[in-house]
C-alpha cells in the first residue's frame, strides 16, 4: 500500500482509481511520435496508458478529495475504446485507507471532463445521486457554465450525469477564481486546458504540493511544448504552465500528476531553459 505524505497539518494520500488509454498523438499535441514514444510507449492502436490518480487530503478540519476519476457508469463500447480498467476503483481505493463516502467533506474537480469527475455521482435505480452525501463539491463557475454549454469540439468530454445531480442535491459551491478552502489548502485558477481549469496548492508553511490536474497531466508532459490536443487554449496553457513550473522550481514544490501511470509525485528543476523531472524521494 502507498504511504501518505504526513505533515503537521495534514496527511496526503495519493491514490489511484484505475487506468485508461488515449491516443498518444492527441496526448502530446505537436510533439512527434518519434520523440514522445520514448516516454510513453504506444499500443497497436497508438494509445498510451494513463492512470486516474486522485488525492485524499486528511486535515483536522475535514477530508478533501481532489478529482474523482472516470467512475463506473461506462457502456461496454466506451470501456473498449478507452480500455478502461477500474482496478481498484475509487471507493475501494478509499476503503483501503479506511475512508467511506460519508467521510468526505469537500470534493475538488480541476474541471468537469469525464475523466476528472466521473465518480462525483453514482447510479441508484434510474437516478444519479452524489457519491459523497456530506460533501460540498467545489467547481469554478466558468467551468460549470462551459460544461452546460459545450461546443461541438468538447461536448463529448462533458457528461451531465457527473455534475447536474450535485446541483439538484444542493451540494455545489461555484467558485470564482482562487480560493483558500481551509488553512493551507488553496484552489488556484490555471487556465488553458479549459478556460476555467483549476489546480490545488497544499502547504504546511514549509512543504508544498501542487496538484496540477490537466495543466501537466503526466511527468512526461513537463516540457513546455508537450501540450495535449484536447486543450482548448493551448497558448494559454503554455503561459500558465511556464509560470507555475517556474514557481515549482523556485519553491521546491512537489508536483502531483493526475494521469501518470507510474509516478504520483516529482520535483522539478530547470536545466538551462528546459524543465526536467527530478524523482521525489519523500518528505
Whole-number minimum distance, CB 217 to Zn ion, in Å?
Answer: 6
Number of residues that make up the chain? 283
Note whether 214 binds Zn ion by CB under 5 A.
Answer: yes
Indicate the residue among 51 and 202 with the shorter CB distance to Zn ion.
51
Q: How far is the CB of 22 from Zn ion (least distance, A)?
A: 9
∠ CA 86-89-92, rounded to 5°: 150
Binding to Zn ion, residues 223-262 (CB under 5 A):
none
Q: Give the interface segment with Zn ion, choosing from 28-36, 62-70, 113-121, 177-185 (CB under 5 A).
A: 113-121
Verify binding: residue 115, Zn ion, rule CB under 5 A.
yes
Binding segment toward Zn ion, per CB under 5 A, in 90-98, 107-115, 144-152, 179-187: 107-115
Gap between the Cα atoms of 242 and 34, Å rounded: 24
Is there binding between residue 143 and Zn ion (CB under 5 A)? Answer: no
Residue 59's contacts (CB-CB under 8 Å, 6 or more residues apart) are 9, 10, 11, 182, 184, 185
50 to 79, contacts with Zn ion by CB under 5 A? none
208 binds Zn ion (CB under 5 A): no
Min dist. Cβ of residue 193 to Zn ion (A): 8
- Stretch of 60-68, 89-97, 145-153, 210-218 contacting Zn ion, by CB under 5 A: 210-218
**From start to end of 117-263, where are the E strands?**
121-124, 127-130, 136-140, 172-175, 179-182, 185-189, 198-203, 208-211, 254-256
CB of 281 to Zn ion, least distance (A): 27
Closest approach of Cβ 53 to Zn ion, in Å? 10
Stretch of 69-77, 134-142, 145-153, 212-220 contacting Zn ion, by CB under 5 A:
212-220
Nearer to Zn ion, 99 or 220 (CB): 220
> What is the H or E stretch that residue 114 is in?
helix 114-117
Euclidean distance between CA atoms 224 and 192, whole angstroms = 13
Size of the site for Zn ion (CB under 5 A): 2
Query: What three-state secondary structure class fits 244?
Result: helix
Q: In what order do the strands lie in the sheet with 106-108?
A: 5-6, 11-23, 47-59, 62-66, 106-108, 136-140, 172-175
Q: What is the DSSP letter of 143?
A: H
Q: Which residues bind Zn ion (CB under 5 A)?
A: 115, 214
Amino acid at each position: 500500500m502507498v504511504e501518505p505524505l504526513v505533515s503537521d497539518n495534514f496527511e496526503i494520500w495519493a491514490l489511484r482509481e484505475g487506468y485508461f488509454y488515449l491516443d498518444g498523438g492527441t496526448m502530446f499535441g505537436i510533439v512527434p511520435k518519434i520523440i514522445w514514444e520514448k516516454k510513453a510507449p504506444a499500443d497497436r492502436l497508438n494509445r498510451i496508458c494513463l492512470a486516474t490518480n486522485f488525492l485524499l487530503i486528511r486535515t483536522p478540519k475535514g477530508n478533501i478529495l481532489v478529482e474523482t476519476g472516470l467512475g463506473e457508469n461506462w457502456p461496454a463500447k466506451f470501456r473498449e475504446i478507452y480500455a478502461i480498467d477500474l482496478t481498484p476503483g475509487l471507493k475501494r481505493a478509499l476503503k483501503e485507507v479506511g475512508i467511506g463516502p460519508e467521510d468526505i467533506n469537500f470534493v475538488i474537480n480541476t474541471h468537469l471532463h469525464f475523466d476528472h469527475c466521473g465518480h462525483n455521482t453514482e447510479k441508484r435505480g434510474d437516478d444519479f445521486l452524489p457519491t459523497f452525501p456530506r460533501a460540498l463539491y467545489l467547481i469554478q463557475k466558468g467551468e460549470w457554465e462551459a460544461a452546460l454549454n459545450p461546443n461541438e469540439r468538447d461536448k463529448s468530454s462533458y457528461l451531465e450525469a457527473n455534475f447536474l445531480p450535485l446541483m439538484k442535491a444542493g451540494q455545489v459551491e461555484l467558485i470564482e477564481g482562487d480560493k483558500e478552502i481551509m488553512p493551507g489548502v488553496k484552489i488556484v485558477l490555471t487556465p488553458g486546458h479549459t478556460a476555467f481549469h483549476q489546480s490545488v496548492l497544499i502547504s504546511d508553511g514549509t512543504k508544498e504540493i501542487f496538484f496540477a490536474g490537466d495543466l501537466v497531466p503526466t511527468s512526461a508532459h513537463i516540457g513546455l511544448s508537450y501540450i495535449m490536443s484536447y486543450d482548448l487554449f493551448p497558448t494559454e496553457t503554455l503561459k500558465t504552465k511556464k509560470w507555475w513550473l517556474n514557481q515549482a522550481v523556485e519553491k521546491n514544490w512537489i508536483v502531483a500528476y493526475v494521469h501518470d501511470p507510474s509516478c504520483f509525485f516529482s520535483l522539478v528543476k530547470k536545466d538551462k531553459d528546459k524543465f526536467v523531472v527530478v524523482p521525489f524521494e519523500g518528505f
